[in-house]
Amino acid sequence: MMQRIRSFPIGTTIITAIVIACLPAFIIRYIYGLGAISNLSDGRPWGLWISFDLYCGVALAAGGFTLAAVVYIFGQEKYHPVARPAILTAFLGYLLVIFALLVDLGQPWYIWHAIIYWNWHSPLFEVAICVMTYTAVLALEFSPAVFERLNWNVPLRIIRSIQIPLVIAGVVLSTLHQSSLGSMLLMMPYNLNPLWYTPILPLLFLASAIAVGPAMVIFESTISGRVFGHRIGQDIMAGLGRAIPYILGIYLMLKLVDLTARGNIGLIFTEYPLNLLWWAEILIGVVAPIILLSMPGVRQSSRKVFWSATLVIIGLVLNRFNVSLIALAPRPGTIYLPSLMELAISIGLVADALLVIILAHRLLPMANHKPAEETAASEAALQRSKA
């Protein structure tokens, strides 16, 4: 079965069929408008697309800036083999955010207004500018894979020469808008349940994104390694897993101290049924991974570290859905459930990303690429041999 997937058709064919099947939902949306395909209303102006494609998509793309910083700024070359797939996933994640916004906006042809009409007081303006800029930075960070495949040495050398400034810019931009997504919710103090509403929401969003970055790299690297046959050392996975409990521990401490300081700690026992969702995201996505990934035996097992990382991802998705959809009080009498076409659009966008990942792993040097220093040394040696 695995050999058949690698040879080509089955997995790629299924994903391509999903993309084609979901395409009519996009066409209907742009011909007949949002009302024809969604259950959005004045009482619930955003729904599945914002929660899943934006709030989850941006956070799950955090592996790009965390791995880039670890490898290129802090010099941890051990993690170089998983840096490029992490950057590709981040790049695709941000493209999906942009495409989802083009679907979700009532008048998407005005999306360029954020570039011209600057509103310095709007968190949404900061998110818009950072997402656009960081997407361009990610494209440049990933471009060496394309240049290597095409043997374009001149643009490859140019990108290599500015790699560190690019990574620094990416870290700054991603840090800004990861936190600004939380800042957007600060404008709704009477709509968001006090279990989640807090003045430190931007800090919590940033901490949870940093924690899910290594978890997402473990998740995607394990799956791509099994599908495409890439061998990734367990020491890499163990190293990524070792960092997660510390970040989650800081996140958990911030959550509990904040609830206590605001006098809302008792709500985790009394705010039924929303408190069950709070406990679910904390126990599944924070407490369990802290315990599991603190055990050396778990980190040394590829299967155990994969499922522990999966718990972190599940916990983050639960949190983002809680803060951006479930725990937001709708207008009285308003009930929102996503329509089948809303689901189709989100599924179609994810399938598009998976298809690009498959093609990238088949056509580009994703796993067996050289660090910048090694590439530069090879080029220098080649020049000396010619001389």
As a whole number of angstroms, the distance between CA 80 and CA 95 comes to 23
pTM recorded for the entire structure: 0.87
Domain limits for position 247: 17-33+48-330+339-359
Give the total number of structural domains in the chain.
1
Instruction: Tell me if 177 is assigned to some domain.
Output: yes
pLDDT at 20: 93
Express each pLDDT in 257-273 by its tens digit: 999 999 999 999 999 99
Instruction: Tell me if 351 is assigned to some domain.
Output: yes
Q: What is the mean pLDDT of residues 171-178?
A: 85
Instruction: Tell me if 374 is assigned to some domain.
Output: no
Backbone dihedral angles phi then psi of residue 207, each to the nearest 5 degrees? -65, -45
Instruction: Tell me if 71 is assigned to some domain.
Output: yes
Instruction: Tell me if 321 is assigned to some domain.
Output: yes
Instruction: Tell me if 217 is assigned to some domain.
Output: yes
Express each pLDDT in 17-44 by its tens digit: 999 999 999 999 999 988 889 888 877 7
Instruction: Tell me if 137 is assigned to some domain.
Output: yes
Express each pLDDT in 111-143 by its tens digit: 888 888 888 777 778 888 888 898 999 999 999
Instruction: Tell me if 55 is assigned to some domain.
Output: yes
- pLDDT category at 387 given cuts 50, 70, 90 is very low
Q: What is the DSSP string of 87-144?
A: HHHHHHHHHHHHHHHHHHSSSGGGTTHHHHS--TT-HHHHHHHHHHHHHHHHHHHHHH
Query: If DSSP codes are grouped into helix, strand and coil, which group holds residue 16?
Result: helix
- pLDDT category at 329 given cuts 50, 70, 90 is confident
Note every long-range contact of 379-384, with CB atoms under 8 Å and residues 24 or more positions apart, other chains counting: 379/153, 379/157
- Looking up residue 343, the CATH number of its domain turns out to be 1.20.1630.10
